[in-house]
Structure 1
Amino acid sequence: MPFDGLALAAISRELATLLSGGRVVQVYENEAREIVTVVRRGKKKYDLLWSAHPQWARVHLTTHEPGTNESLSFFCTMLRRYLVGGRVVRLTQPNFERVLRFEVATHDDVGRPVTCTLVGEFMGRHANIILLDENATIIDARKRYTRDVSRYREVLPGLPYLAPPVTKENILSLDEEAFIDLLMQLPVETPVAGALQEKIDGLSTVTAREVVFRAGLALDARLEQCGAYEFSRLWTAARSLFEAVARGDSTPTLLLAEDGTPLDFAPDDLSHIGAARRIASNMNQIVNRYHAYMREKAQFEALRRELRRALKTERKRVEKKIRILSEIAGAEGEAAEARRRGELILMNLHRITKGQTRVTVEDIEHGHNVEIPLKPHLSPAANAQAYFKAYGKLKEKVTRARAALHDLREQQTYLEETETDLEMAVTLRDLEEIREELAAQGLATKKTARTRTKEEPQPLVLCSTDGFRILVGKNHRQNDYVTFKIGRENDVWLHARGVPGAHVLIAADGREVSPAAIEEAAALAAYYSRGRNETRVPVDYTLRKYVKKPKGARPGFVIYTNEKTITVAPSGPGTPLQEK
């Protein structure tokens, strides 16, 4: 949901209660270039996040702890200079505009008391964060721009601050007649929700549709379908929603899908949207949770695209070398021909004289005559030696090419397995583990030491219907961890036969593993493999003690013996498996 004026009103009310009178103790920038002002009030410390992102502009308290940005922007240094040490005087929102004013009482360079104001304008691509002095003069801004960018105003240090233009009405300052007149200024074919959003300050598409729903109208109703009764219902529904948010009587709600994925949020319940779950909480917590998920989702998709590109580039390089070396490796016949020519020259030295450019001799072994090119400046014996030398070079070339092809085909298999791991990744952590593995081989950009993942891998942990713990590695690092760090010699190890996929382990814990548990684990091994879209997949299983990792083998590579094979339909987590 867009961060609308109603959501900001609920947040502003909560912030005023929590932060007024507190002291600004720090200002920093996170990796996303968002500003965080740290306010201490009493024994509690609050991190207030400000974002001018064109898509995710917002302000709210955050519990997320991203790494700080090592190279601070000039704007952040100015915020530190003017705000740190100051006391929060008030937080205000003009009407229901997407603007928050954060006033801080502090002292100037000569010790005089002054009030600085941090203004957050959360208006999509026009979003900005601006620092003002006590005379409403701009000290600095997150986004500076001139009239070349905006004909309405310039945002530059030293210029007077001009607030964004107000083009909509505050519903709390209207009576019912004025409200109806305002809507009727629009063409009669305008959807009611669109009319509300266009004329009333503070509404986004989703909250405008909620007003329409609460008024008892169809969500796609148009103005021409409304009479006095419908307009009165709209007035009552809209006014009551805004008044509830302004008083703090609303119920901020987060809507979740069945799998717990956040769908939407609003400062009051969105009764017109069906959702598997609804969570009521304070507005700051809801917005923080929603955007933490959206942030991780965006990071997940960006990192997956980056790794896909890296793997695709490397795979094309490897495939090109395989094609070239395959041609060289196929030159064994050419080498044999060079040797045979040298032998035939030696057998016919008495028939060849220096200066000849070619000679035709009988190849008794193959039963036909052979014409052999000669170098006229060489003696017959020297011509034979030249062919033997060419044979040696070609033979060595073929041998080297075949050895390189073996390594390249192993690399090709590894890249295919990693691509499968990439598609099986569920969390950002899964992708970061893959990136670290690729970075160690020079195939991806390394993370800095400050942000490198140091924790143990986190494989998927499930429980079979009869109580056996099942572990699933979703990448090479997790596979090695599951098989060789967690696995015990009498645990059951599984892997989809002949295709890249996960190492799956059934922890025996001193019991005999049941056929049902093996079948369920095999279904998981099939699902977390390249064969997941097949109807039936063969899966090998054996005891962990029969799984070995050759010395110097690449990550995730193992050999195993004493296996049995079961054919199953791929099945992911869920009934009858329950995630722990």
Structure 2
Amino acid sequence: MAFDGIVVASLASELKHKLLNGRISKIAQPEADELLLTVKSTECQYRLSISADASLPLVYLTSKNKPSPMTAPNFCMLLRKHISGGRIVDIWQPGLERIIHFTIEHLDELGDLCRKDLIVEIMGKHSNIIFCNDQGKIIDSIKHVSAQMSSVREVLPGREYFIPDTMQKVDPLTVTSEEFAAHLTGKPMPLAKAIYTSFTGISPVTAEEICSLAGMDSSVPAQEYSADILLHLYTQFEIYLSAIKEDTFSPGIYFDGKEPKEFSALPLSHFVNYTRVEYDSVSEVLETYYSTRSLITRIRQKSVDLRHVVQTGLERNRKKYDLQLRQLKDTENREKFKVYGELINTYGYNLEEGAKTLECLNYYTNEMVSIPMDPLKTPQENSQRYFAKYNKQKRTFEALSVLCKETLDEITYLESIQTALDIALTEDDLAEIKEELTNSGYIRRKYTKKKVKIKNKPLHYISSDGYHMYVGKNNLQNEELTFHFAVGNDWWFHAKQAPGSHVIVKTHGDELPDRTFEEAARLAAYYSSMRGSDKVEIDYVEKKQVKKPNGGKPGFVVYYTNYSMVIDSDISNIEELE
């Protein structure tokens, strides 16, 4: 999600309510492009984190502290000299720009009261923190931008501060209906793109939301709509942005299961497939969203080696399986060679010497058949040659049938580990998967004196009717849940013919309500390779009907009688327990 002008407006509003008239007691610079300000207000103390990192620029209130370097950087020392102990007298956003101004009142060296601006620009790779005097001159910045680096604006001490207007965008809070229509119709591009390229602070997601609220197709150019329809769009545009003028924000995060997909300061009604969780503070939204995203990213990065092992194993086995299938196809004619041998024994006695074919009646099909003969061999030798071909292909078929099944089982097994890696949320999950791959011979075991015990539990949910449901996060947990934890009358769920988790519902001898069956099936659908599908077929059966095949891989089961249902994979309304 873009850190757009609406999110910045919400953030500026929150900071104004909490930090206005607060005094800056501490200034730290934990990273080269990051500040951490401690502000004491009349109510309590706040920590304000400001990052101008090119990949992840952020501004938010946080409760967490960060260690600072032993020697403070020059920019930090400059701020301490000027505004340490200063009072924040104003926090504002120019237009709907991704910029926040902090106006700070302090005493100078002579004891006179003066004001300075700390300006935070949240603009992707152009993000910066700029310190200016009350005349609009730059005193210093956390990143210096010279004329060689940018032809648009220099950010250097002594230069005039201004906001570069490179995109010629219009302030959406002051635009009239006529200007609105003129800007959109003047751009031969999809409607949503025309909106976010014409108006300041509007992100692509917000543009899609405005089109959705107006009931208009965002992919159609504005020129194809009439003036009345564009007026209707302008009305929805104004209504949606009126929350900024009225200071009525409702920050929230949109989750796909446990994974945060988007965040916003205003509701996004077109995200119907995601679950919205509302928060009291936009700072809490930003901190939660980015910390959760970074955790997921970190786990995915740490799983790269395991994914490489699994992917290599899958590619090798799939190539092997394709080759085996081709070889198996070559044995399809084995029965024909057996019949040829029998027919030569039956009709070959009156065959002329040196004949190249034998024309005879196939008494199995009651049709005439032409059998190729080796003219240098007797009929008996030709018969034996065909029987030898039949026996060879029969042995090949029997051996390949076994090998094909083993290879297919190995592919299915590796796909189940791939799904487990997709489910993994913690380092313990990865450690357990690594142990399974080691046990299976895909990773060489490193022998150490100290053996680390992996303490990892399956996911635990409770149904709306109060029944406990458990989800295995990998094959080892699936094995433990199904064959050691569950008892005979508990119910077992799994996505049909798809790698995924075993789901166990503890019944304690009760007959389960239909709603619990449906919720358990949704868990089985979500924690499978079919996650995100609207229709997933789920097999479910009492645990006593589930057996483990001899020599089967971890998590492999067989069952011969079962029930099935088709359900979606939405688990947003199912309560998860610790």
TM range (shorter): 0.5 to 0.7
Pairing of 1:232-247 with structure 2 (within 5 A): 238=237, 242=241, 244-246=243-245
1:432 equivalenced with 2:427 (yes/no): yes
Q: Find the aligned partners of 2:11 and 2:124 in 1 and give their Cα distance.
A: 18
* Match of residue 68 from structure 1: 66
SS in 1 for 2:281: helix
**Residues 7-63 of structure 1: CA deviation (Å, up to 9, x unaligned):** 323332332222101123445678997654343322334443434355654434457
Letter in 1 for 2:200: D
Q: Find the aligned partners of 2:159 and 2:272 in 1 and give their Cα distance.
A: 47
Q: Find the aligned partners of 2:202 and 2:14 in 1 and give their Cα distance.
A: 19
Q: Find the aligned partners of 1:262 and 1:203 in 2 and give their Cα distance.
A: 21
Q: Find the aligned partners of 1:277 and 1:315 in 2 and give their Cα distance.
A: 30
Unmatched 5+ residue regions in structure 2?
A: 317-410, 445-453
Distance 1:566 1:118, change over 3 A: farther
* Match of residue 168 from structure 1: 169
User: Of the candidates 296, 303, 309, which is equivalent to residue 307 of structure 1?
Assistant: 303
* Match of residue 386 from structure 2: none
Q: Residues 29 and 36 of structure 2 are in contact (CA less than 8 Å); yes or no, is this contact kept in structure 1?
A: yes
1:579 equivalenced with 2:574 (yes/no): yes
Q: Residues 122 and 128 of structure 1 are in contact (CA less than 8 Å); yes or no, is this contact kept in structure 2?
A: yes
Query: Following TM superposition, by how much is the alpha carbon of 1:154 offset from its aligned partner in structure 2, in angstroms?
Result: 3.1
SS in 2 for 1:201: coil
Q: Residues 99 and 119 of structure 1 are in contact (CA less than 8 Å); yes or no, is this contact kept in structure 2?
A: yes
* TM-score (normalised: structure 1): 0.56
1:275 equivalenced with 2:272 (yes/no): yes
* TM-score (normalised: structure 2): 0.56
Query: Following TM superposition, by how much is the alpha carbon of 1:244 offset from its aligned partner in structure 2, in angstroms?
Result: 4.9
Query: Following TM superposition, by how much is the alpha carbon of 1:299 offset from its aligned partner in structure 2, in angstroms?
Result: 3.7
Letter in 1 for 2:66: T
Q: Find the aligned partners of 1:434 and 1:75 in 2 and give their Cα distance.
A: 44
Q: Residues 491 and 505 of structure 1 are in contact (CA less than 8 Å); yes or no, is this contact kept in structure 2?
A: no
Q: Find the aligned partners of 1:224 and 1:296 in 2 and give their Cα distance.
A: 42
Distance 1:288 1:505, change over 3 A: same
Pairing of 1:43-54 with structure 2 (within 5 A): 43-54=43-54
**Residues 148-170 of structure 1: CA deviation (Å, up to 9, x unaligned):** 321123334x3435333133333
Q: Residues 8 and 98 of structure 1 are in contact (CA less than 8 Å); yes or no, is this contact kept in structure 2?
A: yes
Distance 1:160 1:235, change over 3 A: same
Q: Find the aligned partners of 1:203 and 1:133 in 2 and give their Cα distance.
A: 30
1:140 equivalenced with 2:141 (yes/no): yes
Letter in 2 for 1:137: I
Query: Following TM superposition, by how much is the alpha carbon of 1:91 offset from its aligned partner in structure 2, in angstroms?
Result: 0.7
Q: Residues 492 and 513 of structure 1 are in contact (CA less than 8 Å); yes or no, is this contact kept in structure 2?
A: no
* Match of residue 329 from structure 1: none
**Residues 73-109 of structure 1: CA deviation (Å, up to 9, x unaligned):** 8478548735554322211212222211112334568
Distance 1:541 1:308, change over 3 A: farther
Q: Residues 251 and 281 of structure 1 are in contact (CA less than 8 Å); yes or no, is this contact kept in structure 2?
A: no
SS in 2 for 1:434: helix
Letter in 1 for 2:90: R
**Residues 158-212 of structure 1: CA deviation (Å, up to 9, x unaligned):** 34353331333335566666x26x9369746455554444443333334445556
Q: Find the aligned partners of 1:245 and 1:574 in 2 and give their Cα distance.
A: 36
Q: Find the aligned partners of 1:202 and 1:74 in 2 and give their Cα distance.
A: 32
User: Of the candidates 293, 316, 337, which is equivalent to residue 289 of structure 2?
Assistant: 293
* Match of residue 451 from structure 1: none
Distance 1:575 1:146, change over 3 A: closer
Q: Find the aligned partners of 1:305 and 1:258 in 2 and give their Cα distance.
A: 20
Q: Find the aligned partners of 2:74 and 2:525 in 1 and give their Cα distance.
A: 52
Range with bigger deviation, 96-105 or 293-302: 293-302
Q: Find the aligned partners of 2:199 and 2:158 in 1 and give their Cα distance.
A: 31
Letter in 1 for 2:151: R
What is the aligned length?
Answer: 454
Distance 1:78 1:105, change over 3 A: same
Distance 1:14 1:176, change over 3 A: same
Q: Find the aligned partners of 1:506 and 1:463 in 2 and give their Cα distance.
A: 9
Letter in 2 for 1:433: D
* Match of residue 9 from structure 1: 9
Query: Following TM superposition, by how much is the alpha carbon of 1:110 offset from its aligned partner in structure 2, in angstroms?
Result: 8.6
Unmatched 5+ residue regions in structure 1?
A: 321-411, 445-453, 548-555
Letter in 2 for 1:200: F
* Match of residue 182 from structure 2: 183
Q: Find the aligned partners of 2:174 and 2:460 in 1 and give their Cα distance.
A: 55
SS in 1 for 2:16: helix
* Match of residue 344 from structure 2: none
* Match of residue 37 from structure 1: 37
